Structure 1
Amino acid sequence: MEQLIALIDAFWPTSADVKNTLRKILHREAFSRKHWLLQPGQISDRLYFIEQGVIRGYYLKSGGQGDGREATAWFMRENDFIISIVSFYCRQPAQEYIELLEDGVVWSITYAQLQQLYRDFPEFNAIGRLLTEKYYVLSELRTQNLRMQAAPERYEQLLMDFPDIFRRVPLKYIASHLGISPETLSRLRGQRN
């Protein structure tokens, strides 16, 4: 918990009252790998902070040749925040899965608790805005890279962003995230080594 509070304090200096409130409401959970934090149809009600582990967001492709295939949208790891953005903020059923790829530990607060923090502590609004900006920019960069870069460039960017990914994430999920086949990913890895 203190790791999370220190990270929040680095975004925006927070009062003792905010820190004490966070200590009271933050909920710690440990999960084993393959646990889903969210599945399609559920409403995302928790904002998570990853203390330990790697988590991926994915959805199932539909239509044409993509019927039922998994498409990995993102990977997050220690010191990252995760939510299903549309489901959490719009209070509607999710369309994606959020799954632990390793045994992990997360801290979370509910949607209602987050809204109460915003009402009770105006300074927390700044934290929320800065975190939202950070993750929106990361999401936009990820989308641009997938649309505008060739497979070798996407591969190199992923290695820069997440250097130990091959030790922590199965190849099929990395290939899915990059939008390439596992065979193409193996060729790219071979060319780089």
Structure 2
Amino acid sequence: MSNFIVFLNALQPLSPELNDTLLANTLREELPAHHLLLQPGKIARRVYFVETGLVRGYMLLHGREISSWFMQAGDFVISILSFFTQQPSAEYLELLEPAVLHSISYEQLQALYRDFPEFNFIGRSLIEKYYVLSEQRALHLRSRTAAERYDLLLRDFPTVFQRVAVQHIASHLGMAPETLSRLRNKLL
């Protein structure tokens, strides 16, 4: 049984029929680092579960990359606006490490919601989790100092500096790489 099915079963026990449907409809992919799952102008057609690896969501703003989030093993990855509206994306989804991903399409997700009412609980639980994370990130960017944002990132993602380039971390924290370096040196 894949980690994807194990993860979903932990949220809500899957009926045998739902389990079989998920196994039949889930695409498993092994992809290299720097592979783009999505780029601006394209429509997000799939939602991904990260079995292994690390994914970054980012946008280009005035020629600069602004990292919105990092997701790792056990997380779901999606371009929310593009996927749920089926409109072109404004963001990139990039693998920062080689990854094993499991995915289903927008159409498959809608069929799961329609055909398996118990799957609606799973969908709602995941949307609530990631909406809360999004709100926390927005709040932290508006109300926390640079040092506090840095501390929170290290608390939530202790291996970030071993896995993510400093410039990506700095843009995620809303600061220049030089500011991040000074902050790190001061706190070490």
> Do structure 1's residue 118 and structure 2's residue 104 form an aligned pair?
no
Moved over 6 A (4+): none
Percent identity, please.
55
> Do structure 1's residue 157 and structure 2's residue 152 form an aligned pair?
yes
Aligned partner of 1:2 in structure 2 is 2
- The alignment's C-alpha RMSD in Å is 0.8
What is the DSSP-based 3-state SS (H/G/I as helix, E as strand, rest coil) of the residue aligned with 2:14? coil
> Do structure 1's residue 147 and structure 2's residue 142 form an aligned pair?
yes
User: Aligned residues, how many?
Assistant: 188
* CA–CA separation in structure 1 for the residues paired with 2:167 and 2:52: 22
Give the AA of the match of 2:157.
Answer: F
Shift of 1:138: 0.5
Measured against aligned partners, the alpha-carbon deviations of 1:25-82 in whole angstroms (never above 9, x if no partner) come to: 1101111111100000000000000011110000011xxxxx2111000000000001
* CA–CA separation in structure 1 for the residues paired with 2:145 and 2:38: 31
> Do structure 1's residue 14 and structure 2's residue 9 form an aligned pair?
no
* CA–CA separation in structure 2 for the residues paired with 1:185 and 1:68: 20
Q: 1:107 aligns with which of 102, 111, 135?
A: 102
Give the AA of the match of 1:78.
Answer: A
Aligned partner of 2:162 in structure 1 is 167
* CA–CA separation in structure 2 for the residues paired with 1:16 and 1:187: 54
Aligned partner of 1:64 in structure 2 is none
Aligned partner of 2:69 in structure 1 is 74
Shift of 1:6: 1.2
Give the AA of the match of 1:38.
Answer: L
What is the DSSP-based 3-state SS (H/G/I as helix, E as strand, rest coil) of the residue aligned with 2:57? strand
* CA–CA separation in structure 2 for the residues paired with 1:4 and 1:105: 11
Structure 2-normalised TM-score? Answer: 0.98
Aligned partner of 1:60 in structure 2 is 60
Aligned partner of 1:135 in structure 2 is 130
> Which segments of 5 or more consecutive residues in structure 1 lack a partner in the other structure?
62-66
Aligned partner of 1:94 in structure 2 is 89
What is the DSSP-based 3-state SS (H/G/I as helix, E as strand, rest coil) of the residue aligned with 2:184? helix
Shift of 1:191: 1.9
What is the DSSP-based 3-state SS (H/G/I as helix, E as strand, rest coil) of the residue aligned with 1:155? helix
Give the AA of the match of 1:103.
Answer: P
Shift of 1:157: 0.3
Give the AA of the match of 1:12.
Answer: Q
* CA–CA separation in structure 2 for the residues paired with 1:149 and 1:35: 33
What is the DSSP-based 3-state SS (H/G/I as helix, E as strand, rest coil) of the residue aligned with 1:37? strand
What is the DSSP-based 3-state SS (H/G/I as helix, E as strand, rest coil) of the residue aligned with 1:144? helix
* CA–CA separation in structure 2 for the residues paired with 1:100 and 1:58: 11
> Which segments of 5 or more consecutive residues in structure 2 lack a partner in the other structure?
none
* CA–CA separation in structure 2 for the residues paired with 1:140 and 1:73: 12
